[in-house]
C-alpha cells in the first residue's frame, strides 16, 4: 500500500518554499531517514527525509514548484524495493527478447533521427543539413550543451571543401541565441533581490570611509597563530578581531547598534553581529550572538562553524534571525573598495576590503604598511555623519592597537 511523502512542517516565519531538487526518482528505493528531496525557502534549505524504508512510486510535485507546509509531494511503497527491482528486471528481459528484424528496423530508425543519438540542432541548422550531403557524426559542435548550430555545419563545409566560405553575422546571432538559456531565480536569490531593493527604497543610506593600518594585527597573528590554533583548534583570523573591535565600538556608541521601529528608536542591550557569507545558493547572514561576552577564540570558532553549515546548506532559520549589526568582507574576493547595502532593520553595516601594501608616512618616515579601506554604510535617519565617522575611528583605533582589545582597555 502506498503512503504519502509530505513536505515538513515549516518554521513559523516560513510560509512557502520551492521544491528545488528530487534526490530519488520513481522506482528508486531508499532507506529510512535518507534524504528524498530538498525544499528551498527564503532563508534555508529544508530536507525531506524518508519516514521508513521503501520505493518511490510516484512524484506528484515536480522540481521548481512552490509548495506549502505539510503538502503531499509524492507517494512511496513501504518495503517494496526488492519487488520493484525484480519487476524492472523482468521488464528489461522482456524488452531484450525481440526479433532480429525488429532490432534492425529500430537501429535504422535511430540512425535517421540525429536526436536519438544525442544530437540537438536549431531549425536553421536542420535546413542546411538537409541541403548538404554531410554525415552528422563528423560535425564538431562548439556549444557546451551539445547543440549543433548552423555555424558548426558551415565550419565543417569550410574544412572539407571551400575554405573561403565564412559565417555571416546572421549565423553568429543564431548561434548566440541557441546557446543562451533562461533559468528561474532560486527562491533565496529572489528574496535577496527584494530585500536589497527594499533597503534602498526605505532607508536614507549613506557611506563613509576610513583606512586602517593592520601592521600590529598582522604582527600579533604571526607571533601567536600557531599557539592559538594548537590551544583552541581554530585559526586566528582577521574576522574574529574585526568582530571584537566592532562590538567594542557598538558598546561605546549604542546609537549605531539601534534600529528604527515606526517613530521609535530601539536601543538593543546586546551586540548580535551578522557575518555575510556567500554560498552557491546566494548570500546568507548567520548571526553571532552576544559578541561582547565572547573571547576572540569563541568568535573564531563560531565563524568556522557557521561557514561549514553555510557551505553544506545546513544553516537553520534561528541561525539567521535577528542581528543588530553586520560585517561584510569583500576583501576575500579581492575588492579594494565598496559601499555595502544595509540589512534592515539594522542601521549600519561595516565593509572590510582587501589588505594591500601601500607607502605610508609613519613618524615622519615612509614605510610600506598593510592597509585596508573600511566602509560604513548607515541609515542617515538615525545616525549623523559625526556618529558614523566616530564609530569607524573607534574600530580603527582598536585594530591599530590590538592589545587594547585583549586587555579590555
Catalytic residue ranges = 380, 384
Backbone phi, psi, residue 403, to 5°: -65, -25
- Find all residues with CB under 8 Å of 33, minimum gap 6, and list them: 49, 50
Q: In a 3-state reduction of DSSP, which class is residue 216?
A: helix
Q: Which of 52, 49, 40, 64 is nearest to 2 (CA)?
A: 52
Is residue 306 helix, strand or coil?
helix
Tracing cell 538537409 back to the chain, one arrives at: 130
Beta bridge partners of 349: 326, 377
CA distance 301 to 235: 9
**What's the CA gap between 39 and 6, in Å, rounded?**
11
**Angle of the 215-232 helix axis to the 385-400 helix axis, nearest 10:** 60
Q: How far apart are CA 188 and CA 390, in angstroms?
A: 35
Count of alpha carbons within 13 angstroms of residue 311, beta-carbon side: 6
The grid cell for 284 is 546568507
Helix H segments across 293-402? 296-311, 317-320, 385-400
Amino acid at each position: 500500500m502506498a503512503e504519502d511523502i509530505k513536505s515538513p512542517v515549516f518554521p513559523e516565519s516560513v510560509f512557502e518554499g520551492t521544491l528545488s531538487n528530487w534526490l530519488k526518482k520513481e522506482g528508486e528505493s531508499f532507506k529510512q531517514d535518507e534524504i528524498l528531496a530538498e525544499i528551498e525557502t527564503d532563508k534555508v534549505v529544508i530536507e525531506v527525509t524518508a519516514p521508513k524504508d521503501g520505493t518511490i512510486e510516484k512524484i506528484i510535485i515536480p522540481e521548481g514548484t512552490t509548495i506549502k507546509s505539510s503538502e503531499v509531494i509524492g507517494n512511496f511503497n513501504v518495503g517494496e524495493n526488492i519487488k520493484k527491482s525484480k519487476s524492472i528486471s523482468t521488464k528489461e528481459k522482456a524488452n531484450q527478447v525481440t526479433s532480429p528484424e525488429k532490432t534492425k528496423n529500430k537501429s535504422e530508425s535511430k540512425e535517421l533521427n540525429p536526436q536519438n543519438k544525442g544530437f540537438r540542432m536549431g531549425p536553421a541548422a536542420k535546413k542546411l543539413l538537409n541541403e548538404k550531403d554531410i554525415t552528422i557524426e563528423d560535425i564538431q559542435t562548439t556549444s557546451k550543451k551539445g547543440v549543433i548550430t548552423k555555424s558548426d555545419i558551415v565550419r565543417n563545409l569550410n574544412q572539407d571543401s571551400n575554405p573561403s566560405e565564412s559565417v555571416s553575422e546572421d549565423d553568429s546571432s543564431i548561434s548566440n541565441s541557441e546557446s543562451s538559456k533562461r533559468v528561474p531565480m532560486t527562491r533565496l536569490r529572489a528574496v535577496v533581490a527584494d530585500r536589497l531593493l527594499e533597503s534602498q527604497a526605505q532607508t536614507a543610506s549613506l557611506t563613509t570611509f576610513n583606512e586602517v593600518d593592520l601592521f600590529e594585527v598582522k604582527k600579533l597573528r604571526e607571533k601567536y597563530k600557531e599557539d592559538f590554533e594548537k590551544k583552541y583548534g581554530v585559526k586566528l583570523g582577521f574576522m574574529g578581531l574585526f568582530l571584537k573591535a566592532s562590538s567594542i565600538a557598538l558598546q561605546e556608541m549604542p546609537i549605531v547598534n539601534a534600529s528604527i521601529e515606526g517613530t521609535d528608536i530601539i536601543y538593543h542591550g546586546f551586540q548580535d553581529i551578522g557575518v555575510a557569507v556567500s554560498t552557491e545558493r546566494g548570500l546568507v547572514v548567520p548571526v553571532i550572538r552576544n559578541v561582547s561576552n565572547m573571547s576572540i577564540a569563541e568568535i573564531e570558532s563560531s565563524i568556522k562553524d557557521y561557514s561549514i553549515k553555510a557551505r553544506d546548506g545546513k544553516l537553520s532559520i534561528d541561525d539567521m534571525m535577528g542581528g543588530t549589526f553586520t560585517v561584510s568582507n569583500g576583501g576575500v574576493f579581492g575588492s579594494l573598495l565598496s559601499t555595502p547595502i544595509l540589512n534592515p532593520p539594522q542601521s549600519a553595516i561595516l565593509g572590510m576590503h582587501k589588505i594591500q601594501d601601500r607607502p605610508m608616512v609613519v613618524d615622519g618616515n615612509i614605510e610600506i604598511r598593510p592597509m585596508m579601506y573600511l566602509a560604513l554604510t548607515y541609515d542617515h535617519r538615525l545616525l549623523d555623519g559625526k556618529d558614523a565617522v566616530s564609530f569607524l575611528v573607534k574600530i580603527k583605533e582598536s585594530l591599530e592597537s590590538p592589545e587594547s582589545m585583549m586587555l579590555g582597555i
